[in-house]
Amino acid sequence: MKAVVFKELGVIELQDVPEPEPAPDEIKVKIAYTGICGSDPIIVIGGLEEFPYQEGGIGWIQQPKPPLPGPRIMGHEASGTIVKIGKDIKRDFKIGQHVAMNLRSPCGVCYYCINKKAHFCENFTNHPGKMAEYAVFKEEALFPLPENLPLDIASLLEPTSIAVHAVDQAHMKTGDTVLITGGGSIGLLIMLIALKSGASKILVSEPVAEKRKLAKQLGADIVVDPLKENLLYISKKFTDGRGYDVSFETTGILAVARQLILFAECSGTVVWVATYQGNLDVGVPITYVHTKEITIRNVVPSPYADYRALKMLPSLNVKPLITIYSLQYALKAFEALKMGKAVKILLQP
């Protein structure tokens, strides 16, 4: 079968690789669509400097040389059709059933799992290898799809679950004013869910014109180019001088993460959705945070958001986010992502 293989730092190839077969406790899926995550090009290139428009990523991947061995098949956001079921599978899956897949499965028995903190599981199973024609999964990583959810939309389950968890962390209230820095897939998914959650006004800060246009089309009240416009001045006017009730940071830029603290309303909440290069200090102004009673939250992938994200997807206008490339043009798709104009690229075998 064809697969996108990470060989070594800076090198990916489309290769012919053996087709996987499921173990007794696994399910084999014919992949329909695989999303290119913000972390994927960072894994390949070994840093953010080659992808200046790419939001977020995973902090420990943003080192000069990521501690990730190759060769290995890339990809962790996907949807597809079940083609083979291991004999030890307990749930009622069926051949031909449409499913979406998650990045990992918690073990269910470690300290964090049994204390309702499964997103910090000490023994989770990873499920990468989805930029391919077929892949195998543990049953806990598969989510049966409702009939009204197309496979291309369903492949956004994992990033949508991140957005759902981010809004959870914000403890949003009806009528809140919202700032989102970064108009990539995570930023725009957060915007769509924040609108559903009762945001009164949303400003999206994004340097790429195509993404600003899309944010406005999808419901942002104001879009700002932070490289050419004064975000602080516009924000003060937008919030009547008070600051934002809730702010979401999705760029992965430390200076922006710090800036959001200065934009917060009294008792406001700042959610750092992206993660940041390790060993660097954001320099939080502690007295300012204290006197304004600001809350700062972070986000890691949470299994508790998956099913709610799945229920949300049919009602979210995510189709405009999607650009589809054939798997055979995966290298061109990565180049398109590098240019910063595409929001969510899906690879189709």
At 102-150, the pLDDT tens digits run 877 888 899 999 999 988 888 887 777 889 999 999 998 999 999 889 9
Residue among 227, 243, 163 at smallest CA distance from 195: 163
Question: pTM of the entire structure?
Answer: 0.90
pLDDT the model gives residue 55? 46
Judged against a pLDDT cut of 90, whether residue 176 lies above it is answered with yes
pLDDT the model gives residue 100? 96
Q: Do residues 235 and 244 touch, judged by C-beta distance below 8 A? A: yes
Q: What is the DSSP letter of 120?
A: G
Considering the four listed CATH numbers 3.30.70.890, 3.40.50.2300, 1.20.1250.20, 3.90.180.10, the one that applies to the domain covering 2-156+318-348 is 3.90.180.10
Per-domain residue ranges of the chain: 2-156+318-348, 162-298
At 235-260, the pLDDT tens digits run 999 999 999 999 999 998 888 999 99
pLDDT the model gives residue 174? 96
Q: How far apart are CA 6 and CA 26, in angstroms?
A: 24
pLDDT the model gives residue 252? 86
CATH number of 162-298: 3.40.50.720
pLDDT the model gives residue 278? 66
pLDDT the model gives residue 300? 85
Per-residue pLDDT band for 48 (boundaries 50, 70, 90) equals very low
pLDDT the model gives residue 203? 98
pLDDT the model gives residue 41? 67
157-170 vs 185-196: helix axis angle to the nearest 10? 60
Give me the chain's average pLDDT, please: 88
Percent of the chain topping pLDDT 70: 90
Shared fold status for 2-156+318-348 and 162-298: no
Judged against a pLDDT cut of 70, whether residue 232 lies above it is answered with yes
Judged against a pLDDT cut of 80, whether residue 194 lies above it is answered with yes
Q: Tokens 């759902």 sit at which residue?
A: 164
Q: How far apart are CA 113 and CA 301, in angstroms?
A: 14
Judged against a pLDDT cut of 50, whether residue 56 lies above it is answered with no
Per-residue pLDDT band for 275 (boundaries 50, 70, 90) equals confident
Per-residue pLDDT band for 68 (boundaries 50, 70, 90) equals low
Distances in Å between the Cα of 278 and the Cα atoms of 168, 281, 297 are 25, 9, 17
At 279-303, the pLDDT tens digits run 678 888 888 889 999 999 999 888 8
Q: Which two tokens stand for residue 199?
A: 């945001």
Mean pLDDT, range 64-92, rounded to an integer:
82
pLDDT the model gives residue 60? 33
